Amino acid sequence: MSRTPARPDPLDVAPVIPVVEIRERAHAVPLARALASGGVPIVEITLRTPDALEAVAAVAEEVPEILVGAGTVTAPDQVRRACDAGAQFLVSPGTTPALLAAMVDSGLPVLPGTASVSEVLTVLEAGVTSVKFFPAEAAGGAEHLRALAGPVPEARFCPTGGITAASAPQYLALPNVACVGGTWLTPRQVVEAEDWDRIESLAREAAALAPPQDG
Ligand SMILES: O=C[C@H](O)COP(=O)(O)O
Ligand SMILES: CC(=O)C(=O)O
């Protein structure tokens, strides 16, 4: 009998989840390889570009050393398409009952987006404890998350939105933050120049921000 191997929680892979918009399909595989070589074996490809699902599929197929997820999942029908493409986790910027149900039903690890205590409670009610906090800087930053550690200690966060290499450590120091998300590892001009060495070096710096935490 074959078994589907358990997939790691995306929060436990690296201190940073790189959030990537793929504008050229051919960039997906070398970019993923550069992140993994730099010590960040995880990437969230946002479903914001025409080639995003094919990029997810290419990375899932050709870069087994990285965990590839689909981000910007905003509607239930995108969940099936992301699963069919081979996504290994799903990320949404926000949460609705229908979207949350579809994400949970997928059986994949999920990172639903929240910006309020009520949204966090909704996600916890669905049995999900890995939670995205978006848009982190605009929605209250590290102070917001520090305030949540008392009333909802079971929620583990990946704050995303406006975070940089300079601001990441203040989030990573919080007990309820497992990792942060951000685009700073993959600047658009660096990707367009296909400067994969630079991406690898940015990943190396990000990997050194903090060790991955145990589940
Ligand atoms: O929407 C964009 C990402 O979720 C975060 O981007 P950022 O790290 O550039 O703020
Ligand atoms: C905001 C984000 O990272 C997403 O669109 O999933």
Note the pLDDT tens digit of each residue in 166-205: 999 999 999 999 999 999 999 999 999 999 999 999 999 9
Q: What is the mean pLDDT of the chain?
A: 95
Checking if the pLDDT of 1 tops 50, the result is: no
Checking if the pLDDT of 79 tops 90, the result is: yes
Ligand 2: distance of its center to the CA of 14 in Å? Answer: 17
Ligand 1: residue whose CA is nearest its atom 1: 161
Band of the pLDDT at 5, cuts 50, 70, 90?
low
What are the catalytic residues? Answer: 44, 132
Band of the pLDDT at 215, cuts 50, 70, 90?
very low
Look-up: residue for tokens 């994969």?
A: 196
Give pTM, 2 decimals: 0.94
Q: Could you report the per-residue pLDDT of 87-133, keeping only the tens digit for each?
A: 999 999 999 999 999 999 999 999 999 999 999 999 999 999 999 99
User: Counting ligands in written order, which one lies closest to the CA of residue 111?
Assistant: 2
Q: Can you point out the beta strands (E) in the chain? A: 16-20, 42-46, 67-71, 90-91, 110-111, 113-114, 130-133, 156-159, 180-182
Residues in the chain: 215
Ligand 2: residue whose CA is nearest its atom 5: 72
pLDDT of amino acid 107: 96
